[in-house]
Amino acid sequence: MEKDITIYDIARELDLSPTTISRALNDHPAVNKKTKQRISEAAAQMGYRSNLFASNLRRQRTNTIGLIVPRLDSPFHSSVIAGMEKVANEAGYNLIISQSLETLQKEIANANTMFNSRVDGLLVSLSFETETLEHFENFVSKGIPVIFYDRVAEHKECTSIVIDNLQAAYKATSHLIEQGCTNIVHITGNLKRNVYADRLKGFKYALIDHNLPFSEENVIISKMTEEAGTLAAQQILEMDPLPDGIFVSNDTCAVSCLKALKKANISIPRDIAVIGFNNDAISRVVEPNLTTINYPGQEMGEVALRVLLLQLNGSRDNVPSNTINLRSELIIRESSLKSKSNAKKKAVHL
Amino acid sequence: MEKDITIYDIARELDLSPTTISRALNDHPAVNKKTKQRISEAAAQMGYRSNLFASNLRRQRTNTIGLIVPRLDSPFHSSVIAGMEKVANEAGYNLIISQSLETLQKEIANANTMFNSRVDGLLVSLSFETETLEHFENFVSKGIPVIFYDRVAEHKECTSIVIDNLQAAYKATSHLIEQGCTNIVHITGNLKRNVYADRLKGFKYALIDHNLPFSEENVIISKMTEEAGTLAAQQILEMDPLPDGIFVSNDTCAVSCLKALKKANISIPRDIAVIGFNNDAISRVVEPNLTTINYPGQEMGEVALRVLLLQLNGSRDNVPSNTINLRSELIIRESSLKSKSNAKKKAVHL
DNA sequence: TTGTACGCGTTATCAT
DNA sequence: ATGATAACGCGTACAA
């Protein structure tokens, strides 16, 4: 637990000034090559490590990016984070991560921590409860870029990164209709969140465009968890007549719903066709395999971070555009194929 | 983008010294209650935020904990991290996270970044490739606590948090034997890692204790990914005779293997019984449902962080013990039940 | 090409 | 109960 070596120690050792040490270690051009060499050797030999805090304090930036996510233990968010970490790491940024656990209160607390930690930029996917973006105003007014991804909200100064949820839902619903479904249930999450509101819209528009009636009773709002899927299935089993198709806003919930329906001797897709959302691993395992929307989590994470880096390094108004749409696609599997003749898998690019 | 408010600004405003401001904001006992009140009001009103870097620089600690994980997009690690974040957040610590992507090179780079970021403590789950712990010596010799979890290695100064992999594997294998299996294949990962080496031992000991032969040819070493499971299945299908049981070291791999076997018209569990490891969501979805070892990810994360906090706050030698074992259990589902008479689920606590 | 001197914002120490 | 001062380690404007 000996004392840390500083650039002063190296300076003294080599009979140079701390300035030169600092410059050499930062590869400043105006330092003699031989001197640089000597310095970096001495630094290594003396066990020097730079003090990021002192550096941060001096330079007023942290090389740290904050991330607030609803839950860490979700396949989608895991892959997003994996993508973010990869890009951040390559660019020499640290990622500090916290979860709101879907509550506004924790989201606010986390935002404040991030603010005090003086992150250079902030990435956010909103909680279920969030209604306003007040708790991010601190950042905005200080010129700290905030980027929303997936669960986003409109803000004049902030970029959002999403997929076209409306269109994805429209395609999924249309696919069900093409398979002969006329009475479709939609299970989705809190409508405060764009992802669920947009999917509901896509669902509704698809029905309307195909001259099918839209009824509020066919929309089930749930927490989108495994348990919620089971509950939704019970609710559906009590419907009379039974629906002939279900479009669920995530795979976790879709799969547990599908399982519960099967247990009740409903044949999938013959009696009821099912479509999920996300293309989690689970969707390729359930029987029948689940038709779903492929959702590019890792890519979304990478893009979010790249855009943030652009905003950090480039000119302040280098924002590519206010909203970035990533491509998603409908992956058709057995769970929605009523007409077995179509049974070859095909991917419809949105 | 106005300038930040500092304690000097508040001091000037209230005609007090910066010292008093600092004390008040840190709730130091030796400050008048009324003064405290005035100060915190002024701080709030002026939009003050503390500068953690200056504070860190001065106090020589960061309130930040580093985490190095093989992959972020794994269900197990996600739940571990969720547990860690929860405890860290409550204790006022930030978590900075990086992934080694199973390579030694990245693990070393990440460790160095963490070291330079001056984390107060480090949590590590080792990559496949890691053989020595040299890259953590920096931390140890500076008295920065390092804790290994799940994928651990022996180090005199470091605590490890694990489950009893040997015993878990022993129970799983014994269960297969009790179901009548006599020719069991074991699919596992890189034997440099304790988790895989110990599971192999447990597998081997169970065979021996039940007077069954152990053969190297029945051990498949793989990357334990989804693809690896499919490949392993192919390899198994070429065995003659076919095995009658498979014990796989994780669920992802077990499930893809199981799926490939089913596709080849192998009946599970009748022809071949299968057991996985981890109790991922996927294990409850595959048909037949997968027998597996329940692995307390979230809890492991929480425990790891609590132990670290103890070492950070408590006396330097407050280490509860060098290795902490968490309980795991065998969860018996259909994939291993050859004798349908036993078909009620039962949990065997290890 | 190298050096001097100061400031970043906080907290510890010592004094009052 | 409050204040003056120095120090944490680095980067940079300015000087040489």
In this predicted model, what pLDDT tens digit does every residue of A203-236 receive, in sequence order? 999 999 999 999 999 999 999 999 999 999 999 9
| B12, two tokens | 């000037």
CB B154 within 8 A of CB B99: no
CB A41 within 8 A of CB A98: no
Compute the distance between CA of residue B60 and CA of residue B118 in angstroms, rounded to an integer: 9
Reported confidence tier of residue A341, pLDDT bands at 50, 70, 90 = very low
CA nearest B52: which of A6, A62, A63? Answer: A62
Which conformational region is residue A59 in: left (phi greater than 0), alpha (psi within -120 to 50 degrees), or beta? Answer: alpha
Q: In the structure, how far is the CA atom of residue A59 from the C1' atom of nucleotide C14, in angstroms?
A: 31
Q: What is the pLDDT of residues A78-91, one digit of tens each?
A: 999 999 999 999 98
Judged by CB atoms closer than 8 Å, whether chains meet at A99 and B85 is answered as yes
Taking the Cβ of residue B75 and every Cβ of chain A, the question of whether any pair is shorter than 8 Å is answered with yes
Sort A168 into a burial class: Cβ within 10 Å, 0-12 / 13-18 / 19+. buried
CB B272 within 8 A of CB B261: yes
State percent of chain A over pLDDT 70: 94
Secondary structure, 3-state, B264-311: CCCCCCCCCEEECCECCHHHHCCCCCCEEEECCHHHHHHHHHHHHHHH
Q: What is the mean pLDDT of chain B?
A: 91
Judged by CB atoms closer than 8 Å, whether chains meet at B97 and A98 is answered as no
Range with the poorest average pLDDT among A104-108, A113-117, B94-98, B284-288: A113-117
Taking the Cβ of residue B278 and every Cβ of chain A, the question of whether any pair is shorter than 8 Å is answered with no
Q: In the structure, how far is the CA atom of residue A94 from the C1' atom of nucleotide D16, in angstroms?
A: 39
Q: Which residue of B has its CA nearest to A138?
A: B47
Q: What is the pLDDT of residues B309-319, one digit of tens each?
A: 998 877 555 55
Reported confidence tier of residue B1, pLDDT bands at 50, 70, 90 = very low
CB B82 within 8 A of CB B298: yes
State percent of chain B over pLDDT 70: 94
User: How confident is the model at residue A346, as a pLDDT?
Assistant: 45
Q: Which long-range contacts (CB under 8 A, 24 or more apart) does B339-348 make?
A: B339/B179, B339/B180, B342/B179, B347/B294, B348/B171, B348/B175
Largest CA distance in chain B: 89
Q: Which residue of B has its CA nearest to A88?
A: B98
Q: What is the pLDDT of residues B116-150, one digit of tens each?
A: 888 999 999 999 999 999 999 989 988 899 999 99
Reported confidence tier of residue A339, pLDDT bands at 50, 70, 90 = confident
Mutation pick from B285, B302, B316 vs chain A, by most beta carbons of A within 10 Å, is: B285
User: How confident is the model at residue A347, as a pLDDT?
Assistant: 47
Taking the Cβ of residue B110 and every Cβ of chain A, the question of whether any pair is shorter than 8 Å is answered with yes
Taking the Cβ of residue B18 and every Cβ of chain A, the question of whether any pair is shorter than 8 Å is answered with no
- Evaluate if residue A348 carries a pLDDT over 60: no
Q: What is the pLDDT of residues A316-338, one digit of tens each?
A: 555 566 899 999 999 999 999 98
- Average pLDDT (B176-190) is 97
Is the distance between the Cβ of B213 and the closest atom of strand D smaller than 7 Å?
Answer: no
Taking the Cβ of residue A103 and every Cβ of chain B, the question of whether any pair is shorter than 8 Å is answered with no
Question: A with B: how many residue pairs have Cβ under 8 Å apart?
Answer: 127
Reported confidence tier of residue A2, pLDDT bands at 50, 70, 90 = low
- Evaluate if residue B58 carries a pLDDT over 50: yes
Residue at minimum CA to C1' distance from nucleotide D12: A19
- Evaluate if residue A170 carries a pLDDT over 60: yes
Q: Which residue of A has its CA nearest to B106?
A: A89
Judged by CB atoms closer than 8 Å, whether chains meet at A53 and B99 is answered as no
Q: In the structure, how far is the CA atom of residue A57 from the C1' atom of nucleotide C12, in angstroms?
A: 19
- Average pLDDT (A179-205) is 97
Q: Which residue of B has its CA nearest to A281?
A: B282
Taking the Cβ of residue A85 and every Cβ of chain B, the question of whether any pair is shorter than 8 Å is answered with yes
Domains of chain A in start order, with CATH, are 7-46 (no CATH), 62-163+297-326 (3.40.50.2300), 165-296+329-349 (3.40.50.2300)
Whose C1' is closest to the CA of B55: which nucleotide?
A: C10
Reported confidence tier of residue B262, pLDDT bands at 50, 70, 90 = very high
State percent of chain B over pLDDT 90: 71
Taking the Cβ of residue B227 and every Cβ of chain A, the question of whether any pair is shorter than 8 Å is answered with no
Q: In the structure, how far is the CA atom of residue B50 from the C1' atom of nucleotide D7, in angstroms?
A: 19
Q: How close B312 gets to chain A, by Cα (Å)?
A: 14
Partners of residue B122 on adjacent β-strands: B66, B146
Residue at minimum CA to C1' distance from nucleotide D9: A54
The DSSP 8-state label assigned to residue B5 in this structure reads P
Report the predicted TM-score, pTM, of the whole model to 2 decimal places: 0.89
- Evaluate if residue B341 carries a pLDDT over 50: no
Taking the Cβ of residue A262 and every Cβ of chain B, the question of whether any pair is shorter than 8 Å is answered with no
Reported confidence tier of residue B230, pLDDT bands at 50, 70, 90 = very high
Q: What is the pLDDT of residues A223-271, one digit of tens each?
A: 999 999 999 999 999 999 999 999 999 999 999 999 999 999 999 999 9
Is the distance between the Cβ of B35 and the closest atom of strand D smaller than 7 Å?
Answer: yes
- Average pLDDT (B238-244) is 95
Judged by CB atoms closer than 8 Å, whether chains meet at B298 and A73 is answered as yes
